[in-house]
Amino acid sequence: MKLKIITINVWRYYEWENRKQKLIDFLKKENIDIVLFQEAASSKKSNWENQIEEINEKASYEFSAFEKLVKMTKWHEKPIDYEMYYGFGILSKYKIKKTELIKLKHVIKDKDFGFMHISIEIEGEDIDLLSVHFENTDEGSKQQLKETLEWCNKNKISSIIAGDFNMKDVKTLKEITGEDYEISYFIKPYFSFMPTEFSNNKEPITLDYIIAKKSKFKIADVKCIEDSPSDHRPIICIIELK
């Protein structure tokens, strides 16, 4: 069996009204089985509970979920006096059996990062997925990836791990995962982040990956979407279940 999986950092509500329909049209066109979001937001000023609900009003996936990670206190550097959060989301054609939010240890920054663990059921079999958002420092992303893999080993989970790793050096990613995981970048190299007026990076880099435990999955194909509806480019993988 093959799954078509996408990961995208949706960039919260930045320029959202200009991007929302483009994202929805893209999801419909690609006919993706499972969509994993990072930096999906919720706001008391929105008419929806969160961005996942808002997207799915037109994307029309049968199953969806959202988990809050960070409470925002500023918007465009200005303090806000209403509730706003961002975290993780999923849209799925398959039944979501459970989700849980795992916060990782702070490394360099005093800010929450972590992952959403999702268990879905496909043809009677449970499949584990992790949507990750690691600290945007070299040492932070490195240590949080190690902590995430330790969590998987402790819980005896063979998983697909996807998201915003914030890891610029793919060689470091390979060194940490060893021979246990396939990495999207090594199937087909790509740049997943292009500079914006808000970003510190001024050159194209790769921050987003999909990795899959070799004992259970095989990455058959990789595509990075250049005409992106976000500041991060979506990564699509076709993954075979062994």
> What proportion of the chain, given as a percentage, has pLDDT over 90?
90
Q: What is the pLDDT of residues 184-212, one digit of tens each?
A: 999 999 999 987 666 666 688 999 999 99
Q: Could you read off the pLDDT of 86-102 as tens digits, one per residue?
A: 999 999 999 999 999 99
Per-position DSSP letters for 47-110, written without gaps between them: SSSSHHHHHHHHH--SEEEEEEEEE--EETTEE-SS-EEEEEEEEESSEEEEEEEEEPPPSSSS
Name the one residue in this structure whose structure tokens are 């916060």: 103
CA-based nearest residue to 131, from 168, 159, 95: 159
What is d(CA 109, CA 237) in angstroms, rounded to the nearest whole number? 31
* Helix, strand or coil, per DSSP, at residue 176: helix
The confidence score (pLDDT) of residue 63 equals 98
Instruction: Examine the pLDDT at 239 and tell me if it is beyond 70.
Output: yes
Q: Quick one: residue 139, left, alpha or beta (phi over 0 = left, psi -120 to 50 = alpha)?
A: alpha
Q: What is the mean pLDDT of residues 215-229?
A: 97
The C-alpha atoms of residue 10 and residue 19 are separated, in whole angstroms, by 10
Please state, in angstroms and rounded to a whole number, the distance separating the CA atoms of residues 185 and 174. 10
Q: Provide mean pLDDT across the span 104-123.
A: 97
Could you tell me which CATH class the domain 2-241 is placed in?
alpha beta
8 A C-beta contact, residue 54 and residue 46: yes
Per DSSP, which regions of the chain are E strands? 2-9, 34-43, 63-71, 74-75, 78-79, 84-92, 95-103, 114-122, 125-133, 159-164, 181-183, 208-213, 217-224, 235-241
